[in-house]
Amino acid sequence: MATSALRICPLCEATCGLTLTLDGERVTRVRGDDRDVFSRGYLCPKGVALADLHHDPDRLSAPLVRQADGSHAAVSWDEAFATVERLLGPLLDGDRDRIGVYAGNPNVHTLAGQLLLPAFTRMLGTRAVFTASTMDQMPKHVSAALMFGDKLSIPVPDVDRTDYLLMLGANPLASNGSLWTAPDLPGRLRALRERGGRLVVADPRRSETAAKADRHVQMRPGTDALWLAALVNVLCSAGRADLGRLGAATEGFAEVERAVAPFTPERVAPATGVAAATTAAVARDLADAERACVYGRIGTHAARFGTLASWLVDVLNAVTGNLDEPGGALFPLAPAGQRNARASGKPGRATQLGRWHSSVRGMPEVLGELPVACLADELAGGGIAALITIAGNPALSAPNAGALARALADAEVLISVDPYLNETTRHAHVVLPPPSPLHSGHYDLAFTQLAVRNVARWTPPTLPLPEGLASEWEIMLRLTAIAAGQGAEAHLGAVEDAIASALIEREVRTDGSPYAGHDPAAVLAALAPRRGAERLLDFLLRAGPYGAGPDGDDGLTLDALEAAPHGIDLGPLESRLPGLLRTASGRVELAPAPILDDVPRLRAALDEPWDDGLVLVGRRQLRSNNSWMHNLAPLVGGANRCTLHVHPHDAARLGLRDSGRATATSAAGKVEVDVEVTDAIRPGVVSLPHGWGHDGDGTRLTVAARSPGVNSNLLTPGAVDPLSGNAVLNGIAVEVAPAG
């Protein structure tokens, strides 16, 4: 008999509500949930493929342990965890910084990742924590921490009310948005233009989004910070920089004005490739627009001047009077787990960077983690003896991939929590596979903090956990118990209670919390009979800004969300400054010292020979998801192929032809790849998507191996933006030649 179930899609930041049709345990159809208060029926092809993911025969159904000959054998959970304990034991007794953790992107999409990973790394007591953030958005975290006092105080474009959106280094028509949770961005951007608003896209490629824009600024890769500085420069020198309402709550405007002085439109033109008149016109349009917003994403962040660019985006929003204003860039007020939710009334602490360093490359810590760009060197150089990967595939996703693959193969201990035997986990001594996402409940703790409306939505597990599988929650609890020295046999209920108690204890010490001053044990008891992720989520909802508190009936609880299966809309975003600020000054720090200290580096870049040779950028494809969804047949093939985009002029000059083969060589490595000649890319730039290269031995990815593509990160050398430690993944110098 056919049944249906609602499900929030865990596959990207858009968090669409889906309706699944089931025949017993089989998912026979996936549609958008028209009644979802946030996504209103939108979905993309990946959402449809959730069914294929659920039924993928290559998903692991039992833990694996690596054998002497390098192959993997299925074992019982008890044996798997006993092996983990045996392998980690000696290291747990020694210098714990020698145990590395690599946490990948899907952790942001699971409650186990959001609620247990921090406890696990704390118990492990290591400072060698690496996450996908330093290949992604760390520049935004750093600039947000310095400017607003919290790494997650990130303003998002109020797309539904703006008149003018300037977007850099983002392609939401493929990615569906990032640090910007807005299901149906294609529709929202269309609506912006239909109501007379304008969309301007700065991208070296005529991306799917740029193709729909009113203006496409086809700039040279790696030069966003220069161009943004010129935009601020124009506004300042034309006397059109105005902080508006925020003037009194802001420090550092004069320093910003001085810092951008050298970056005139004329001066940045040779580097950016953007005509001075275009820069001046965009600055004027920004200032003229009633409500405008600037947004930069991965092309802007994963670049040499990532933090400067991220900072300048928010400076532009501030000096055009659009920061914290409807139709501009607004801070969401999330229902649960948001650190800035409540005005604390106390000054915050200055953000410290570089509190420790990686042992081999000496790279500075950033907001509690080490840059992934040094992972290969730390492993190969013995700084880290063991690595635990959780929902990550660094062998494909991380820079300097050639060296990293060798280091992973040679690692003394590699333990992976992952559903697939893939390019990373094939080297693992133990693989602990979580079940399909449909076996756990879903609530987006992270993305509600970045959403264009304040919303709360929960979906319970769609299907019960089959016999013989372990939930990701249980896997993480068991690993936490091992890290805590309680051993693989520990009583998991007690481990979970300790984690819940720690969370509650923090809340009862927080001024202004409805739980302030309460007895933690009584709070814990009152959450019964709920356990697991649901108990913690109920608590966080109750403690949050819309929450019912300890004993109220009115306000959010998990019960309330269960009674509203299509979600609860909590309204449009509203102004939140100065209440959310946690800076030491209690004001918006428009010119933080660490950022100003990096400006001379940008200034020196003005004099570089920018038009020397080819540079490589990435691109995302709609039916792809970093490295891990190429094993689902409906998603691969057609336009979703790993090809090198080359402009016709470059193709002619280099002797390349469409559908021919080429080699691309960088300081880090060399790949051979299919060529696609297209005028959608700027001359002098080539583009290769990341996450491919599924031709390694010892994987179990039947579909992906048929069209493996190449690993673009063999070409990225592991350079970083110094302030954030973020990997430089775009603007890589390459030489391209016909193959053979």
Ligand X SMILES: Nc1nc2c(c(=O)[nH]1)N[C@H]1C(S)=C(S)[C@@H](COP(=O)(O)OP(=O)(O)OC[C@H]3O[C@@H](n4cnc5c(=O)[nH]c(N)nc54)[C@H](O)[C@@H]3O)O[C@H]1N2
What residues make contact with Mo ion under the rule CB under 5 A?
A: 136
Beta strands, E only, 105-214: 129-131, 156-157, 164-168, 198-202
Number of residues that this document lists for the chain: 740
Q: Which of 1, 3, 6, 11 binds ligand SF4 (CB under 6 A)?
A: 11
Q: Which window, 14-22, 213-221, 424-432, 713-721, contacts ligand SF4 (CB under 6 A)?
A: 14-22
Q: Which residues, including other chains, have CB under 8 Å from residue 58's CB and lie 6 or more apart?
A: 420, 421, 631, 700, 701, 702, 703
Nearest distance from C-beta of residue 621 to ligand SF4, angstroms: 12
Which does residue 180 bind out of ligand X, ligand SF4, Mo ion, none, counting CB within 5 to 8 angstroms by kind? none
- Of the pair 12, 527, the CB lying nearest ligand SF4 is at 12
- Of 185 and 280, nearer to ligand X (C-beta) is 185
Q: Binding residue for ligand SF4 (CB under 6 A) from 6, 7, 12, 152? A: 12
State the residue number with the nearest CB to ligand X.
299
Find all residues with CB under 8 Å of 245, minimum gap 6, and list them. Answer: 321, 324, 325
- Find the residue with minimal CB distance to Mo ion: 136
Q: In what order do the strands lie in the sheet with 129-131?
A: 72-74, 64-66, 430-432, 413-417, 386-390, 99-103, 129-131
Binding test (CB under 6 A) with ligand X, winner from 618, 684, 717, 718: 618
**Smallest gap from residue 42 Cβ to ligand SF4 (A):** 6
Peptide bond into 157 cis (omega under 30): no
Residue 171 touching ligand SF4 (CB under 6 A): no
Residues 219-238, interacting with ligand X (CB under 6 A):
219, 221-222, 224
Q: How many chain residues bind ligand X (CB under 6 A)?
A: 65
Among 43, 536, 558, 719, binds ligand SF4 (CB under 6 A): 43
Nearest-angstrom CA–CA distance, 163 and 218: 22
Q: What is the DSSP string of 538-574?
A: HHHHHHSTTB-TTT-SSSB-HHHHHT-TT-EEEEE--
Which of the listed partners (Mo ion, ligand SF4, ligand X, none) does 265 bind, with a CB threshold of 5 to 8 Å by partner kind? Answer: none
Choose between 135 and 283: whose C-beta lies nearer to ligand X: 135
- Using CB under 6 A as the binding rule, whether residue 15 contacts ligand SF4 is answered as yes
In the beta sheet, which residues pair with residue 198? 164
**Cβ-Cβ contacts under 8 Å for 263 (sequence gap 6 or more):** 226, 229, 230, 232, 233, 602, 603, 606
Contacts (CB under 6 A) with ligand X, residues 459-478: 472
Q: Which does 168 bind (CB under 5 to 8 A by kind): ligand SF4, Mo ion, ligand X, none?
A: ligand X
- The three-class DSSP label of residue 663 is strand
The binder of ligand SF4 chosen from 24, 131, 156, 176 (CB under 6 A): 176
Nearer to ligand X, 279 or 712 (CB): 712
Binding-site partner at residue 157 among ligand SF4, ligand X, Mo ion, none, CB < 5 to 8 Å by type: none
Plot region of 100 (φ>0 → left; ψ -120 to 50 → alpha; else → beta): beta
Phi-psi region at 697: left, alpha or beta (left = phi > 0; alpha = psi -120 to 50): beta
For position 442 contacting ligand SF4 by CB under 6 A, the verdict is: no
Residue 712 binds to ligand X (criterion: CB under 6 A): yes
Instruction: Give the nearer residue to ligand X in terms of CB position, either 394 or 514.
Output: 394
H-helix or E-strand spanning residue 692: none
| Residue 391 contact, options ligand X, ligand SF4, Mo ion, none, Cβ 5-8 Å cut-off depending on partner type | ligand X
DSSP letters spanning 79-110: HHHHHHHHHHHHHHTS-GGGEEEEE-GGGGGS
- Picking from 378, 399, 436, the residue whose alpha carbon sits closest to that of residue 303 is 399
Based on CB atoms, which residue is closest to ligand SF4, 177 or 544? 177
Residue of 7, 46, 151, 429 that binds ligand SF4 (CB under 6 A) = 46
Q: Which residue is listed with tokens 């092809």?
A: 45
Considering only residues 130, 539, 610, 628, which one is a binding residue for ligand X as defined by CB under 6 A? 628
Residue 297 interacts with ligand X (CB under 6 A)? Answer: yes
Nearest CA to 395 among 695, 91, 59, 724? Answer: 695
Give start and end residues of each alpha helix (H) in 332-456.
375-380, 394-397, 401-410
Query: Residue 386: which H helix or E strand, with range?
Result: strand 386-390
| From the list Mo ion, ligand X, ligand SF4, none, partner contacted by residue 618 (C-beta under 5 to 8 A by kind) | ligand X
Across 508-667, the runs of DSSP E, i.e. the strands, are 568-572, 588-589, 614-617, 643-646, 661-665
Kindly tell me which residue out of 134, 153, 162, 207 binds ligand X, with binding defined by CB under 6 A.
207
Residues that bind ligand SF4 (CB under 6 A): 9, 11-12, 14-16, 43-44, 46-47, 176, 183
